[in-house]
A and B are shown apart, each in its own frame.
Chain A
Amino acid sequence: MALSNVLEPAVSGFNFENSTRNIVLENGSEEGKIKAPKPMKTGTTIAGVVYKDGVVLGADTRATSEEVVADKMCAKIHYIAPNIYCCGAGTAADTEKTTDMLSSNLTIFSMNSGRNPRVVMAVNILQDMLFRYRGMIGAHLILGGVDCTGSHLYTVGPYGSMDKVPYLAMGSGKLPALGILEDRFKGNMDLEEAKALVSDAIHAGIMSDLGSGNNIDLCVITKEGVDYIRPHRESLYNYKRQAKYKYKPGTTPVLTKTVNQLELVHETVQMMETAGSS
């Protein structure tokens, strides 16, 4: 037998073992009442499309912490290389750090070899890392870029699986976004069509998903360069602050002031053994 801890047979159907316990916990005595924990959403809608001259990536700009919007203008399209950008969905910290590490690795490679990195290299490095961590790093990434072999769009999942497709959407708002993409995607679109398609796809995600919202960022990558449009479309519900929240110097009165002069007692210099010294 492979496993020594096989004690219970697998049961089919849904498992309601904990429902009675949950009811007891919630309706317990006044002191013992426990509120059910709220599900934590890391909502996002990100999308990407390959068009005639390159790749268009899009993302919303909302970062949520349970039911509060933590950041209304967060940047979900991360820089990887001058010709490669990456949209990240999932745990914000994981996507941030993973893309930073990837960017550093590719910069070192560029310096060592004198070449521009290829998108497939970035994908391989990500796959290696995410597979090694067995899904513990919650990063769902869309990588897009243009290199000497053409325009490419890849998705990498948290377990290390990768797919190469001409159009993609990820995040909690991916289903409505994918509906728009499936309906209107064509091969070899021109720039304005592609930008409108990605923007509408993100917009659909924003409208139909609570975890996505605020503005839409777009990033257009071509052989000539990158056009990072932030924001491409602003939310209609931008609230302008009515009052200033800065305090003038002198608002808080100074009661007492004490000055302690620090006295230089003794100074020593110690020479270090460094690589350059003989």
Chain B
Amino acid sequence: MFPANVSTLNTYNDLYPDWTQREVSTGTTIMAVEFEGGVVIGADSRTTTGAYIANRVTDKLTPIHERIFCCRSGSAADTQAIADAVTYQLGFHSIELDEAPLVQTAASLFREMCYRYREELMAGIIVAGWDPRRGGQVYTVPVGGMMTRQPVSVGGSGSSYIYGYVDSNYRAGMSKEECLKFTAEALALAMERDGSSGGVVRLAVISEQGVERQAILGNQLPKFSTV
């Protein structure tokens, strides 16, 4: 999978164009998991400008439609502008069709914008939601404008630290509670190691019944080894 952030220890490499090594000023950890009947999405709450935390209670889980959310990572300005544009386009499309939009449509709209303006934008987005046709789905649209569906997806600068955890702990067919626990623990681990991720863990469950949101505060985060 194309990583959202490439370590600067890699010297010039044809596979990773120059602009992926530019410093991302808003580090993040975002994650989304599919389960039977919906999706669980999660994000940290830190926005940084350089070494200063501009907002320690950011909400990076942005509603695009009633049962479709996007998790934003990368430049705050770029992702907010893209999310606003896609919200408008998807809303218009949904009214024209007179039915709930598909998650794949939302992801395609994100992909169109992120790919067309790839030189100007720095945005890594995970689109997740529930639609009546295909149930819970997670699509990832990383920097560069690729789009692919995955059962579990992580993104942002903190994601590098939890690929191992996610790969070894994900099982297909987890229940909603298991997914919530899995996401919360993965995000807590990433926030522990990544300086650009931190604050609270924001979680949301999207299913046929609607959207349930929760926040896990700093002192209630899952704890691991204190080494």
Contacts and interface: CB of A to CB of B under 8 A. Distances in A.
A127 B80 contact: yes
B80 A162 contact: yes
Contacts, number: 57
A1 B81 CA distance: 26
Contacts of B11: 9-10
A134 B117 CA distance: 13
Interface in A113-146: 124, 127, 130-131, 134-135
B8 A159 contact: no
A160 B17 contact: no
A34 interface: no
B182 interface: no
Most chain B Cβ neighbours within 10 Å, of A2, A124, A130, A175? A2
Q: Interface size bucket, A side?
A: 20 to 34
Interface in A159-185: 159-163, 165, 175
Nearest to A168: B55
A3 B49 CA distance: 26
A255 interface: no
Given A10-B12, A157-B77, A163 B17 contact: no
Contacts of A10: 8, 11-12, 18, 21
Most chain A Cβ neighbours within 10 Å, of B19, B47, B54, B120? B54
B119 interface: yes
Contacts of A8: 12
Interface in B1-52: 8-9, 11-12, 14, 17-19, 21, 47, 49, 52
Contacts of B19: 2-3
B55 A165 contact: yes
Given A3-B18, A10-B21, A163 B58 contact: yes
Nearest to A124: B84
Given A10-B18, A163-B55, A2 B118 contact: yes
A236 interface: no
Q: Which 10 A-B pairs have the closest CB atoms?
A: A9-B12, A161-B76, A159-B77, A161-B77, A160-B77, A6-B18, A163-B55, A12-B8, A10-B21, A2-B17
Given A2-B19, A9-B11, A163-B54, 16 more contacts: A2-B144, A8-B12, A10-B8, A10-B11, A12-B8, A127-B80, A127-B81, A127-B84, A134-B120, A159-B78, A160-B77, A160-B80, A161-B76, A161-B80, A163-B47, A165-B55
Interface of B: 8-9, 11-12, 14, 17-19, 21, 47, 49, 52, 54-55, 57-58, 75-78, 80-81, 84, 118-120, 144
